[in-house]
Chain A
Amino acid sequence: MDQSMSHQNKTPRKGQVFTPDFMVSIVMLLFMLSIFFISWNSLIAAQISDSQDREMYEEGQRTMKTLVSSPGGGGFADEPQVLNETKLEEFQDLDYTRQRSLLKAEGFRIEVVKNNELIHEAGAETVEGSQVYVFNRNMAIEQDDEFRRVEVRYATWR
């Protein structure tokens, strides 16, 4: 009887034992991992935003180049840097959705300024967006067989 009780006391207990040191190390590791992932996620979010900005900027550059130098495909130029006002007026007659589709822009506004006076405008009434890029180019319009300087301003945003 005594022998059997003594044998029972020596049998090791089954189950997992968590020491305080082990628990503390788990908590610290989890804390570090969570800090790392939070920082990582904010970094990735910033990268995506930067990448979208660059894409929009490059698209804006391409659009502006087409507008001032190409006679077709959305361009307003008869020859490089010579504005065809008829083409611009035809573009102004289109509805905003169609204009945006042609320029591949989420939002845009075009202004043509001659001697600080606005002579043509197209697109949205006001410039609005979380990120806006404005491109300015110099062009000429032909009036009375002479070239007159105008400034073309193209703003695009998202």
Chain B
Amino acid sequence: MEIKGLYFSMDAITGLLLISVVSVLIMSTAEISDGVSQETVTFDRYNSQAIDISQLIVKEDFQTLNTSYREELITETSLEHEDTTDIAQAIMKLYQNDEPEAEELAENYFQTYRYPTGLYIEEEQVVNLEASDQAVESFLVAGEEEPKRFTVVVGE
């Protein structure tokens, strides 16, 4: 007795499976996004801030913080008026005299920026920064004897 209905041979099913697998493979390999990821945007922001700090720390003076803070530092540390023409010079002087206020001053200055920031002078840590993604910018600051390399790290 003949049974009615549609018959699918193993060949046909195998063929369909093969076509499906090839289609899925093509689609999955083609899914290469060329868009802008959130990670890229975030890292670019850190990088921009690191560049901004490297330029502004050698230009800005204590107006950015507080003029009374400058007087406080001059009274309590080896800092003198001529050392406070810019923030980088003030940090450098305090750092060279091994005074803990170097870290405090750098921290206070970095708080005027949007993202957490750390500082190294000649590979030695001045302000610590715990962050998984960091943008780094290095620059030279003229010192009493020779220029020192400041390295600013920005991240979260």
A147–B12 touching, CB < 8 Å: no
A21–B33 touching, CB < 8 Å: no
The B interface, classified by DSSP as helix, strand, loop or mixed, is helix
B33–A47 touching, CB < 8 Å: yes
Q: Mark B17-28, 1 if CB is under 8 A from A, else 0.
A: 001100100110
Q: Quick one: which of B12, B31, B60 contacts A43, CB cutoff 8 A?
A: B31
Q: Mark A139-153, 1 if CB is under 8 A from B, else 0.
A: 110000011110000
Q: Quick one: which of A21, A36, A47, A138 contacts B56, CB cutoff 8 A?
A: A138
B16–A28 touching, CB < 8 Å: yes
Give the contact stretch, choosing among B42-50, B94-102, B126-134, B144-152: B42-50
A61–B56 touching, CB < 8 Å: no
CB distance from A34 to the nearest CB of B (A): 12
Contact A21 B6, CB 8 Å, known A81-B59, A147-B60? yes
Give the contact stretch, choosing among A49-57, A85-93, A95-103, A105-113: A49-57
Contact A138 B31, CB 8 Å, known A25-B12, A149-B60? no
Q: Quick one: which of A39, A50, A68, A135 contacts B34, CB cutoff 8 A?
A: A50
Size bracket, chain B contacts: 20 to 34
A32 within 8 A of B: yes
A61 and B47 alpha carbons, distance in the complex (Å)? 12
| A residues near B33, Cβ cutoff 8 Å | 46-47, 50
B64 within 8 A of A: yes
Q: Quick one: which of A49, A80, A146 contacts B63, CB cutoff 8 A?
A: A146
| B residues near A135, Cβ cutoff 8 Å | 48
Q: Mark B107-146, 1 if CB is under 8 A from A, else 0.
A: 0000011100000000000000000000000000000000
Q: Quick one: which of A57, A138, A146 contacts B61, CB cutoff 8 A?
A: A146
Q: Quick one: which of B27, B30, B55, B60 contacts A80, CB cutoff 8 A?
A: B55
B35–A50 touching, CB < 8 Å: yes
Which residue of chain B lies nearest to A131 when distances are taken between CB atoms in the complex? B36
The A interface, classified by DSSP as helix, strand, loop or mixed, is helix
| B residues near A82, Cβ cutoff 8 Å | 59
CB distance from A79 to the nearest CB of B (A): 8
Q: Quick one: which of B23, B36, B56 contacts A57, CB cutoff 8 A?
A: B36
Q: Quick one: which of A29, A32, A54, A136 contacts B35, CB cutoff 8 A?
A: A54
Name A106-123 residues within 8 Å CB distance of B.
none
A57 and B23 alpha carbons, distance in the complex (Å)? 33
Q: Can you report 21 A-B residue pairs in the complex whose CB atoms are below 8 A from each other?
A: A21-B6, A24-B6, A32-B19, A35-B23, A36-B27, A43-B31, A47-B33, A50-B35, A54-B34, A57-B36, A81-B52, A82-B59, A133-B41, A136-B114, A138-B53, A138-B56, A138-B113, A139-B52, A147-B59, A149-B60, A149-B64
Q: Which 7 pairs from chain A and chain B are nearest by CB?
A: A50-B35, A81-B55, A138-B52, A57-B36, A51-B34, A50-B34, A147-B59
